[in-house]
Amino acid sequence: MVELNHGDRYVRAKIIYYGPAAGGKTTSLQVLHRRARGAQKMELISVNTAQDRTILFDLLPLRTLAFRSYELRFQIVAVPGQRLYAATRKMLLKGADTIVFVANSAADRFQENLQSLKEMTENLLSHGIDPSALPIVFQFNKRDLPNITELKVMDRALNARAAESFPSIAIREEGVLETFASALRVTMTELSTRYKIGEDVRGPRAAREWTERAMRETFETAKAAPSEVAEAASPPPPPGPAAAAKLAPATVLRVRAPSMPRTTMGFKPSPPGAPLPSEKEWTPSAAAEAQDPKGAQALVESYAEAAAGLTDHLSRVREERDEANRRLEELYAVADVGRSLLHSSGDRAKILLEGVVKKMSSIFRTSQCSLSLLRPDGELEVVVQLGLENDPMTVATSSQGRPLGSSLLETGRLRLELRGAPGPLGEAIERAGPGCVAVLVLPLQTPARPLGLLTFYLPEEASLPTEFEMEHLERMALGLTLTLEAASDAVSTERLETITTAALAGQLAQRVFRSAESPIDQIVSSLYRLRSRAGAPPWLTEGLAEIEDTLFQLQKLGRAVAAFGEEEIPPAERIAVEDLLADVEKDFRVPLAEAGISLQIENKASGCFVRAEPVLLRALVAGLIENARWCLDGITSGGVVRLIASAAEKNVQLAVFHNAAALASRRAPAQALAWPFDRRVADVNLRLVETLVSHFQGELKKETRDRIGTMTTLFLPSD
């Protein structure tokens, strides 16, 4: 019976290829194995005699697309057809989910087909299986022989249930895939009906539609050349360099009969030097069967069942090995991207990041995924977007009205949500389209700070990750996070040097102001004495007064800078809004224009005043504009920074707007690597701004609108 786990959404089914000896069962499995694509291909195991005749079974493990988010693995088994292995055939039918009956079209083998079908029916009944209820597909093979039975006759004699049937020439790879596709379809139709697979998937893909896509993605469409077919059907070459260069098509275990069989089992001794006996000569003698028929039969069945169990265990071990190798390759892929980002030009950054996102998306068989990173202003921006017109994470909103991606990033934990399940991802799933049945979100976060978000929109052909796979994905996300952090540090080295130089200059300026304070006091005192002398000409008195006033302003500026460096805030003054805007335009219009950014200033607060320390207020507004410039950094054209002053009843509002959110597609690909560093600088700058706002008894608000821009508004008490 099928192995089914609804919790882990996992299905393992068994498809049996049954039929008379030399009918083409093994050849059919070889065709399936040969045509399977690399990601789904697993080892075909055959237990054969020295004459390449199956003595136990052929086993082909196979993966396909998930069915309604259930992971699917099939065991495709071809039973031995020779009369000697009747017990093995009976044992292998136990737990069968679907039968593919491979009949021999040769006219002289017609009765063997009837006998094999009758035996199969009896074996199913002995296992308590209703033959009329078990899905079955007929493959009428060897249609290339000169003397064959007509299809109508074979169908009428064998196919009493009017099941689907297909003519085939397995050695030429004709009709094999069509037969298997039908077997897949009837298997999944039966399982979905009997076990309610995919009831939680809205508008699930029908079994027929799923089969068509599964066959396209599981098997190559082009047939192998006749020489390749003949080579694959022949025994593997002897060990050597040539053999090592090309893998054998299957793992073949060959069994030779002993030269002196046990007489208790009814085998006749072979004289020394005699050739190996044929298969007919291995048949237990009537005397042995008469002595202990039940014991001999039980021994054969036990041997066959033990061999089948060991082979199944070997298949599972190999599946686990292949899975471990795949996960290791995925971790290597993330490490390779990190190395490439550190040692290549920044122009390749987007290509490299797309590569690692594609590698991770292949785990889920999805083409819809995105990588979003935090800009310096703290908003998420999509830097890699595959199969999506708009990433739902940046469009959908949380219950608090915030962008959904930002809300999920703050939680810092992986999240998987199915369509229809209660949770915050429902809107994102709906926006991703009807083909999306689940969303997987992976936050990229260092122990100190978040960096971004990886999002995968899973179709129903994608199996949902297990708990172990979720842990593996978290490790991959951590690897990508550390990669981005390291690449950011490498790209930002030049910026760090610039900032360090500026910080050093600021420290030197602070010391200079402190050192100059005493000489300036002396100069001011001297000017006052000169200006106070009796008989001094008026022009000299006026000139000395102007110099004294300039020195006084310089002294006040130095004291403000020095005091702020020591976390002291000097007293506030009455400042005209017009003067503030004029100073901002003078300081920023040219530098922003050189960076391709347009500065627009709009004054709706003419005649209004605010109370603040002039130097620090200018630094506060400059900090907001500098943050806007960082957000627009890397956008080649169209960047706008707008400063709008307006007046209310009790305050003056200074709003700084930038349109980075509307120009994301114009950003240089390498720029995103500098965002983590720029964001840290912006965070420091923002803390400085918040400190000043608090001192001025003001308020700071920020709002970002997707595809429009970000507005940061400073509210200051009017004077």
Tell me: do 448 and 497 sit in the same domain. no
Tokens of 415: 């999240």
Tell me: do 555 and 628 sit in the same domain. no
279 vs 155 pLDDT, higher one:
155
pLDDT over 60 (residue 286): no
Tell me: do 507 and 618 sit in the same domain. no
250 vs 167 pLDDT, higher one:
167
Query: Is 198 a member of any domain?
Result: yes
Tell me the CATH number at 436.
Answer: 3.30.450.40
- The pLDDT, as a whole number, for residue 240 is 37
Query: Residue 713: pLDDT band by 50, 70, 90 thresholds?
Result: very high
- The pLDDT, as a whole number, for residue 124 is 95
Per-residue pLDDT tens for 522-551? Answer: 887 887 777 777 777 888 788 878 887 787
- The pLDDT, as a whole number, for residue 239 is 38
Q: What is the pTM of this model?
A: 0.66
38 vs 269 pLDDT, higher one:
38
Alpha-carbon distances, residue 481 vs 139, 238, 371, 670 (angstroms): 53, 49, 11, 16
- The region that residue 359 occupies, defined by phi over 0 for left and psi between -120 and 50 for alpha, beta otherwise, is alpha
Tell me: do 43 and 187 sit in the same domain. yes
Tell me: do 41 and 183 sit in the same domain. yes
Query: Is 327 a member of any domain?
Result: no
Phi then psi for residue 157, to 5 deg, are: -80, -35
Tell me: do 496 and 613 sit in the same domain. no
Q: Count CA atoms within 13 Å of residue 696 on its CB side.
A: 33
Query: Is 607 a member of any domain?
Result: yes
Tell me the CATH number at 645.
Answer: 3.30.565.10
Q: Let me know: does 610 contact 630? Beta carbons within 8 Å.
A: no
Which structural domain, as residue segments, surrounds residue 39? Answer: 3-231
- The pLDDT, as a whole number, for residue 305 is 72
Domain stop point among 522, 551, 568: 568
Tell me: do 198 and 92 sit in the same domain. yes
Bridge pairing between strands 136-141 and 98-104: parallel
Per the DSSP assignment, residues forming a β-bridge with 102 are 139
Task: Find the helix or strand (DSSP H, E) in which 199 lies.
Answer: none
Mean pLDDT comparison of 73-77, 316-320, 619-623, highest-scoring range: 73-77
> What distance in Å separates the CA atoms of residue 614 and residue 619, rounded to the nearest whole number?
9
Tell me: do 628 and 528 sit in the same domain. no
Per-residue pLDDT tens for 85-121? Answer: 888 888 889 889 999 999 999 999 999 999 999 999 9
Tell me: do 525 and 649 sit in the same domain. no
Exposed (0-12), middle (13-18) or buried (19+): which is 30, by Cβ within 10 Å? buried
Q: Let me know: does 55 contact 253? Beta carbons within 8 Å.
A: no
Sheet with 597-604, strands from edge to edge, namely 597-604, 639-647, 651-658, 709-717, 699-705
Measure the N-to-C terminal CA separation of the chain; round to a whole number of Å. Answer: 84
- The pLDDT, as a whole number, for residue 159 is 96
> What distance in Å separates the CA atoms of residue 190 and residue 184, rounded to the nearest whole number?
10
Pick from 185, 149, 139, 143: nearest CA to 28:
139
Tokens of 470: 């979720």
- The pLDDT, as a whole number, for residue 27 is 93
What residues contact residue 229 under an 8 Å CB cut-off, 6+ apart? 34, 171, 172, 173
Pick from 367, 9, 19, 40: nearest CA to 184:
40
Query: Is 122 a member of any domain?
Result: yes
Tell me: do 137 and 209 sit in the same domain. yes
Query: Is 254 a member of any domain?
Result: no
Query: Residue 643: pLDDT band by 50, 70, 90 thresholds?
Result: very high
At 148, is the secondary structure helix, strand, or coil?
Answer: strand
Query: Is 255 a member of any domain?
Result: no
DSSP codes of every residue in 529-555: HHHHSTT--HHHHHHHHHHHHHHHHHH
Of the listed ranges 87-96, 100-109, 372-381, 584-593, the one predicted with least confidence: 372-381
Count of domains observed in the chain: 4
Of the listed ranges 288-302, 400-414, 588-602, the one predicted with least confidence: 288-302
Tell me: do 535 and 578 sit in the same domain. no
Query: Is 464 a member of any domain?
Result: yes
> What distance in Å separates the CA atoms of residue 57 and residue 235, rounded to the nearest whole number?
17
Q: Where are the beta strands (DSSP E) in 249-305?
A: 251-255
Tell me: do 413 and 507 sit in the same domain. no
Tell me the CATH number at 100.
Answer: 3.40.50.300
Domain stop point among 193, 212, 231: 231
Domain stop point among 231, 246, 267: 231
Per-residue pLDDT tens for 196-215? Answer: 886 666 666 788 888 998 89
Task: Find the helix or strand (DSSP H, E) in which 354 lies.
Answer: helix 349-361
